[in-house]
Structure 1
């Protein structure tokens, strides 16, 4: 069983996949930071100081004994039922940035790849059908 595992791990595509997952996770953290620390504050400034991370709709009652802040994070930690649409908007922006970055990487990689070899030229369908017809006539 150990030798099978070694053979499995030694295959190049498994190692490539592992490297891709690790780099993807790190890249995701970079994009999250870009969104949370650069883009969303800029959008907040442009919209008059709206902090999207604090936009939510209460779905349930706040406990009577709750004395904390009325922020999304504090209410969420207290277990209050909410729709955090601001966090959702931030996640959508995160996704769009990440998807666009991946699109650019794949697009560039496709440009660097050699074009596929042309298919061998052979007789066309019409020529093949004509040959079959002629063979059947004989």
Structure 2
């Protein structure tokens, strides 16, 4: 069983997948930082200083024992207050769109660098093969 595991792990596609996951996680952190530190503050500046992370709709009452900032989404979420965090959702949506756009550009550039191999010449069609078989069968004596 150990030999099978070693063979499985040493296959190229498993190692490629592992490298892809690690690089993807690091790339995700870069995109998250870009969104949270550059793009969302810029959007907030355009909209008059709006901080989207603290936009939410309360669905339940804030507990009497809560002593934190009643406008802080993260603090209220940690306290277990039910709410819809549409500002956080908007931030995550922008994160996703940026990540998808960058991946699209990378794939497009990779496709330009590695054009698809020319297709193999097409063989005879199915109709041609069937006609050839029919003709051969006609040549045989009954």
Q: What's the TM-score once normalised by structure 2's chain length?
A: 0.86
User: Which residue of structure 2 aligns with residue 97 of structure 1?
Assistant: 98
C-alpha separation between the residues in 2 aligned to 1:37 and 1:95?
15
Moved more, 61-70 or 90-99: 61-70
Structure-2 separation of matches of 1:65 and 1:130 = 86
Give the Cα separation in 2 of the matches to 1:132 and 1:4. 47
1:78-122 C-alpha deviation (Å, 9 max, x unpaired): 111111100000000000000011111111111111322223144
Please list every run of 5 or more consecutive structure 2 residues that lacks an aligned counterpart in the other structure.
Answer: none
Spell out, residue by residue over 1:42-81, the C-alpha distance to the aligned partner (whole angstroms, 9 max, x if none). 0000000110000000000111222211111111111111
For 2:49 and 2:135, the matched residues in 1 are separated by 81
**Is the alpha carbon distance of 1:132 and 1:93 closer, same or farther for their aligned partners in structure 2, counting shifts above 3 Å?**
same
Q: 1:18 to 1:64 in 2, by over 3 A?
A: same
Which residue number in structure 1 is paired with residue 38 of structure 2?
Answer: 38
Q: Match for residue 12 of structure 1?
A: 12
1:2 corresponding residue in structure 2:
2
User: 1:65, 1:114 → 2: CA distance?
Assistant: 63
How far apart are the structure 1 equivalents of 2:133 and 2:13? 45
| Aligned CA-pair RMSD | 1.8
In structure 2, the partner of 1:60 is 60
Structure 1 portions without partners, runs of 5+:
none
